[in-house]
Chains A and B, each alone.
Chain A
Amino acid sequence: MNLWQEYLRPTNLSQALQAFAEAPGPILPIAGGTDLLLDLEQGRHAPVHTLLDVTSIEELNRLEVRGGELFIGAAVPVNRIVLDPLVRAHAEALTEACALIAGPQVRNVASLGGNVAHALPAADGTIALLALNAQAEVASPSGICRVPLKDLFVGPGKSSLKHGEELFVGFYLPLSTPHQASCFKRIMRPQGVALPIINLAISLERTEDLISQIRIAVGPGGPTPWRGTDAEKTLTDKPLNMETVDDAVEALLAQVGFRSSPRRASADYRRRIVTGLLKDVLETAWKRAEQE
């Protein structure tokens, strides 16, 4: 029972899209494959005929500043993201999230495109991208379009990407200005659970002693990667102090939809520990914004 019958390695986007159109059976794009191949092998994913290896498409391997934005190709290995100074400068939360993914042997092949396509509500890379206000660039036979990250998710493990038609090209992140900073942290359990109990990313802008802009992403705060917009509102244009943090915690807890996941964490546990995590990440991002 072979995991695939045909393996294609297009070198440009039009070849890839053509392969979609011509595939004789189910076709899936593959970058690192560190999740996908196991899903196929362990029967969590319907069998495919063709794997479309996107790692040789140049556009998907670019990591650069492009027209006032940071572009990270969908197939760029996570380890390159960890080591890249541009990412650290403009999206430190993403550096931190990617550094926590597995070991170097997996990070050297795993990609952000795969992480997002997997559509898990607490994928580390995804949560960081969400806080960083990323947009995805999606290629399809009808052209290339940009999609806000949030719109890519329809349910746990379900992405809005159309199978056999659409492909992630990459992600655009706004460049960080002085007094903007971000941070990512997570809480795990040491037992055999690969997903975090909670992960949390914040990106904020500081004007003098006020938070002028903030985005808070929490996984798994809902069935899809989740933003704590109410907590964001309570903090916007406020200073960071015990009172505002408490208000933010309250707002987050009122809005968040934590659930109990068997053997991972109860909703109650998540509600309690998110407090400390939110404070911790908030304070770190706040300090970083000052140093900028």
Chain B
Amino acid sequence: MANINLLVNGELHSLEPVPGETLSTLLRQRLRLTGTKIGCDEAECASCTVLVDGEPVVSCVYPAERADGRSVVTIEGLAQREHEDTKLHPLQEAFVEHGAVQCGFCIPGQIMTAYALLQQNPNPDSADVRFALKDTLCRCAGYPAIENAILAAAQALRTGEPVPKPRIPDSIHAHKSVGHSYTRHDGVDKVIGTAMYTDDLVFDGMLYARVRRAMIPHGFLTKLDISKAKALPGVAAVLTAEDIPGEHKHGLVIYDWPVMVGIGERARYVGDAIAIVAAETQEIAEQAAALIEAEFDLQPVITNPVQARQEGVPQIHEKGNLLKHIKVRKGDMEKGFAEADVILEHTFHTPTYDHAFIEPECSIGVPTPEGRMEIYVGSQIPYQDRTQVARAMGWPEERIRIVGQLMGGGFGGKEDVMGQIHVAMLANATQRPVKLLFDRHESLLVHPKRHATQIHVKIGAKKDGRIVACETELYGDTGAYASLGEKVMTRATTHSAGPYDIEHVRADCYAMYTNNPPAGAFRGFGVTQSAFAVESMMDMLAERLGIEPVELRRKNALHVGSVTNTGQLLRESVGLTECIDRVDAKMREQTPHPFEPVIDPAHPSLVRAWGFAGAYKNTGLGGGAPDISNAEVELYDNGTFEVRSSSAEMGQGLVTVMRLTVAEEMAVAPEQVKVLVMDTDLTPNGGPTTASRQTYVTGNASRYAAKTLRDAITATMAEKYDVRPEQIRFENGIVHVNGHSLTYAEVAKEMKSLGQRPRALYEYEAPRTQPLGTGGDMHFAFSFGVQAAEVEVNKLTGEVRVLKVISANDVGMAVNPLGLQGQVEGGVMMGLGNALTEEFIMENGYVVTDRLARYRIPGIMLTPEITSIIVEHPTAEGPYGAKGVGEICSIPTTPAITNAIYNAVGVRIDKLPVDQELIAQELWEREAE
């Protein structure tokens, strides 16, 4: 067969055709142009977009042979090399400057699509940009920044002027470095396609792995025959449960999740592993996995948490189906409800959701000559991975090194071990590197989801609007294994009465095992669900009482001096009322009566209205868990610094926070500070990247490590120059010692000459917290958020469009306003998806939404106009006053939208996602009456 001759980024290649090869595979694997990313491999996400003869195409379904005779441009082809320097294309520059790059995984697809647009239309408007990027998905959901970046680049290209910068206000508590907008350290690599994610790595002699999964929701494995798979040429190893050298179960808190299910053992969900294969190629590995024969003694399937708690149903785990009964008790319910003039009750349902990070899970195990195992993986908790792999291998932890890679999004979905143990086993058995890449199908089936819940709320209030009692009962579907289920549902429970000061509160939650995929951490950590319930209830109560929704919230809002449901006195940093006031004011700038329906005169079936919701969310682990992060700061000979911590950068911007923090403390420019994260050999333990905790704990660890180093420098210089420590000043990268001005390079030299290593490790422990039920401080800080959403409902069809969202978040202090903006906008979009587009569907334990095409995450077309208001009530212990933001900015969106739907057409949404058919139905029924 004739060769494929194609021009790639101007270079001619002549390659032998490979049957079944797509253009994306040719580019990534044969030409090693790994800037083209594979997010779904099913023509849904468009991360793989390249230009063929000037037109953008999805390369994952483009047969390589069709590219013969054509010219292909990839992300690597846009920037110009001028000697050593890379001259960015204005689009690339604008994406970095505008903060459009977060995790970066979708960015090559976004930029290539935008590039094609600008080639054809140099002067696009917002609608043109949205039409072009319609199906190019971004899960960090930086759509507003992406749109602004493209418009800015277009302007620069038309006028020849520099790319206009975004205008984002600094923090009101800004210092020299912290509090000012700063672009990402990895932004440039991400826009030119050189940023390496795990699947972009290749090792000599590397094998490819595939996991054979149970694919049945519940049953005992009775037979497992791997002989055919083993006999297949090219297969290097087939391992089963019998081959697990150490502990057979893993888990984040509770070790209940089998590394592989063995013969006679119970498979509890479709994604349970029963065998693992390593082979010379991906295709052979897949073929071998398919050749494995398994038989199960099928068991009845538990499909939901309410059923799981019924008497007489099958028990999935030895200790039963109840993972945890979580209780919140405050005051006296009988007394509370007796005092109430109005009592309302309602039950709400939320479905399971998937994180749908665009980068699927990937792990590579690499055995070292010294007998250790390196694992390359994008993980939110590298040290936990190490522990879990070591346990399963029966090795001391030090024999494992987790080398964290850039992550194409996490959102809580990369906290549990996925392929890490499997690649360690296969790499150890074969003594060769082994890569295990999940395809989208496997990712959807296997990793833990957001808990589906049923939440009953009973609320009592006085006529004047003061809420006197709130009782909730929650059921949470934690699926087949615990993961972080207990913690997640605890958060759902403690936050289930909303951010309100209520005297009598009771909550009971049943976190139940079922035969669904496990549920664990997902941005919002349970509070997303309970906020939907209680914030809907707040609007129902407001209506009943005849009080405006904003006023009802203002009246009951937590404030300094309030005691939370769990008995915690709030002593500082409660910006809820300011959030309420500022969103309210912004909303009323647009309309004096936001909650009244407005009919579109041109289209009388379209009705608009606003909705309002608030929330709070803890920063940090809380509940008595020691919350510790370690960071190390080192001064190098050339006068630059490095700060190190194992904490995870998944796109959210922690690295920039660490960089700004150290720059601040050492009085240098941020460019002088390098950051190293996620490596268990090279970076000290920063703990899990979860619970919106890293800005606070690793921010503080970095800050105190830098302070410690500064103190050491001060002490050394004071002694050497015989001055008092107070006479030593650090300014603009120079250390002033009583008339002498030393550069940091000179300082490093001096310290070394005195036998001192200029580095400092700091273990930061956040203020102690108390377990639930003991009173006192369950958390060391809370963030507060309020959102208002304007929706348009079509009364004939029930279709809902979100037009505008105003989001105010009390984040204590905005360390990097640019990064914060991206978090806030992305949070709104994820909340919008939670309300309108997403639902992870299972039928009798089988997954229906097993492709990205069936699990729809919001695209740019659904992006409303988002206004972000930053509220800064500093928390004394936080770094410069900062507390967490990653989750709070996503939580109030859903109830703000559903409350707006009610205000527009009078239909109360009590089950997510919003079903337009149900809205329409309710409206017809009402009309018929």
Contact = CB atoms under 8 A, between A and B. Distances in A.
B286 A108 contact: no
Interface string B105-126: 0000100010011000000000
Task: Give the interface centre of B19, B848, B854 by most chain A CB atoms within 10 Å.
Answer: B19
B19 A2 contact: yes
Nearest to B916: A189
A192 B46 contact: no
Interface in B756-800: 796-797, 799-800
Contacts of A106: 43, 58, 135
Contacts, number: 129
B57 A269 contact: no
B913 A191 contact: yes
B63 A105 contact: no
B364 interface: no
A104 B132 contact: yes
Contact of B856 (A2, A7, A42, A190): A190
A6 interface: yes
Nearest to A187: B797
A88 B605 CA distance: 29
A268 B798 CA distance: 14
B46 A105 contact: yes
A19 to B, nearest CB: 14
B63 A51 contact: yes
Contacts of B855: 192
Contact of A109 (B20, B62, B841): B62
A103 B134 contact: yes
Interface string A6-34: 11010000000000000000000010111
A2 B283 contact: yes
Given A37-B61, A190-B837, A272 B135 contact: no
A102 interface: yes
Contacts of B55: 77, 79, 104, 108
Given A1-B286, A273-B796, A273-B920, A33 B61 contact: yes
B854 A192 contact: yes
Contacts of B46: 103, 105
A41 B855 CA distance: 18
Nearest to B795: A276
Contacts of A241: none
B913 A38 contact: no
B907 interface: no
Contacts of A268: 921
Interface string B263-288: 00000000000000000000100110
Interface string B812-856: 000000000000000000000000111101000000110101111
B49 A105 contact: yes
A148 B913 CA distance: 42
Contacts of B841: 263
Contacts of B49: 105
Contacts of A187: 797, 799
Contacts of B61: 32-34, 37-38, 109
22 contacts: A1-B283, A1-B287, A1-B290, A2-B19, A2-B20, A6-B19, A42-B42, A53-B63, A55-B66, A103-B46, A103-B132, A104-B134, A105-B58, A106-B58, A106-B135, A109-B61, A191-B838, A192-B837, A194-B853, A269-B921, A272-B796, A276-B605
Interface of B: 17, 19-20, 22, 42-43, 46, 49, 52, 55-58, 61-63, 65-66, 68, 109, 113, 116-117, 132-136, 283, 286-287, 290, 605, 796-797, 799-800, 836-839, 841, 848-849, 851, 853-856, 862, 913, 916-917, 920-921, 924
Given A1-B290, A273-B920, A276-B797, 11 more contacts: A7-B17, A7-B19, A33-B63, A55-B66, A103-B133, A104-B56, A105-B49, A105-B58, A191-B856, A272-B796, A273-B796
